[in-house]
Structures are given as C-alpha cells and as structure tokens.
Amino acid sequence: MTESLSALESQRAQLLRALASLKDMRPGSVVGAVFRCGKPSCHCARAEDPGHGPNLRLTYKWRGKTVTEALPTPAAVQKAEREIAEFREYQRLGRELVEVNEKICRLRPVGEQPLREQEKGRPTRSSKKSHGSKHDIVNCVRKQC
C-alpha cells in the first residue's frame, strides 16, 4: 500500500495539532519505596515485616543525574502520573511525526519545494508583483502602460 504525499501531509498536520494541544508534561516515573524507621519497638524492626509505605516518589534524570521528588499526597501522585502520561503521549506523537516525515521526504520529488502550512493557497513569492497602487512610475513609463 502506498500512501499519497497529500495524505501523509494531512497526517502530519494532525500530529502537529495533537502536539500543540499537549498539556503539562514531564519525563519520569513514580516509584514506591518501602522504608524501615529504625525504632527497635516498631513493627518494621522485624525482618519479615513489609515495612512502612510505600512512599511514592517521582524520579527523573536531570543533566545526567537522577532526581527524586517527594509525592506526599495522593493528589500529588495523580498530578505526577498525569504529567508523565502526557510526556509519553508527546514521545509517541514525536515518533509518529518523524515516521510520517521520513515517508514524506522519500516521496517528495527532487526540485519541489515543500510549502509551509501557512503558505498554502497564497501566491508564491516568485509571482510577479501586480501593477497596483504602489507601482513604480519610471518602470511604467518604460513599459508604456
């Protein structure tokens, strides 16, 4: 099955619209950490005890380092999960955008200039200037118009 250039271009426009409508996003993951408080009297001091928690945290890489942020409330956990889901969507859309663009590049004939979305339907820059209100008198005299 071959896809036409125009079909691929409309697919690309759709992906760009979806990307433009993305909301708050961040990379990372929510991880749960179980901890032992260290009090000898606490239930968590026993080896078979599951410990406290899990305490949920957000971890992500920033400039090559792993950063951890506390997620102290269920609302904070939900917010982080929403933002991470949005980031995954951004990655998915980005991958699709590149795939569609690769197909477009393969199909685009040599010598054809791809138009930007906003240039479509407008006269191209190379079209002759109309002999309108701003016309050059000298030029007009020479051309005897």
Q: Do 74 and 30 contact (CB within 8 A), yes or no?
A: no
Q: How far is the CB of 71 from Zn ion (least distance, A)?
A: 20
Q: Closest Cα partner for 104 from 2, 15, 11, 9?
A: 9
Q: How far is the CB of 46 from Zn ion (least distance, A)?
A: 10
Q: How far is the CB of 36 from Zn ion (least distance, A)?
A: 6
d(CA 128, CA 131): 9
Pick between residue 39 and residue 116 the one whose CB is nearest to Zn ion: 39
Residues in 32-91 at the binding interface with Zn ion, rule: CB under 5 A: 37, 42, 44
Strand-pair partners of 62 = 65
Binding site residues, Zn ion, CB under 5 A? 37, 42, 44
